[in-house]
Structure 1
């Protein structure tokens, strides 16, 4: 149901930024049906959770629904620095007059400016060959947030036979 969120392999859900506006689309509703929403959010750190305010929308005459939704701001890191997960479902009637519910296929995850998503790195090289590994290449930081940097590194050597 959600669109425009970035896929970040190794990070939970789809990666979005607070304030970013997402486009949602669903089909199967009756033409011009009123669609109401239930939205929930939770801190992945388990500190906070709650309901989302998502206003009702009206399906198009062909039964499709398209609407935009701004990702809410996250609290300051001093309150809760963990990423947020969001899930939204919309319910209305289908052309037969029965209840039709559209679900997000996977939750959206918003990372506060203080919490980037780091993904483990690995590299292989022939014995005696030096290589350089860009350990930040597969990591993600919120748009407009702090730039990623390496603070500490650990390395292990596995010599196969």
Structure 2
């Protein structure tokens, strides 16, 4: 899959043909993912078939394909009106399903975290780009990371929002 070849090259900072735990952690930190240490080790341990502590391209591709399959299902679940995009209303609905009230401005901030073309919607490509290096394993963890990002960015609790 050529779409992952460029990402592999970007992650392979020392250009040795492998991705190490530290290279993967560094890239995640650049994307604002700070609490990934244990998960990064688990990723490498799970996909490192030859147990050399590194991911070659084939091992990395296996990880990426698994992530893509898993998150495609979640994307379709999030896209309530089945239009091929996630919008603020989809985010509000997701939070409501999880028993959390979120304001429109905060739903907008979540969309903006993923929205690369400023359309105020998130298509599959944008969503995949956002979650592919985020080591969350399910929607609940993704929502928790969004809540953490919103609280962390404001330095306070979310005005008008109830966080569980």
Given the two structures, how large is their TM-score scaled by the length of structure 2? 0.26
Larger Rg: 1
Higher strand share: 1
Given the two structures, how large is their TM-score scaled by the length of structure 1? 0.26
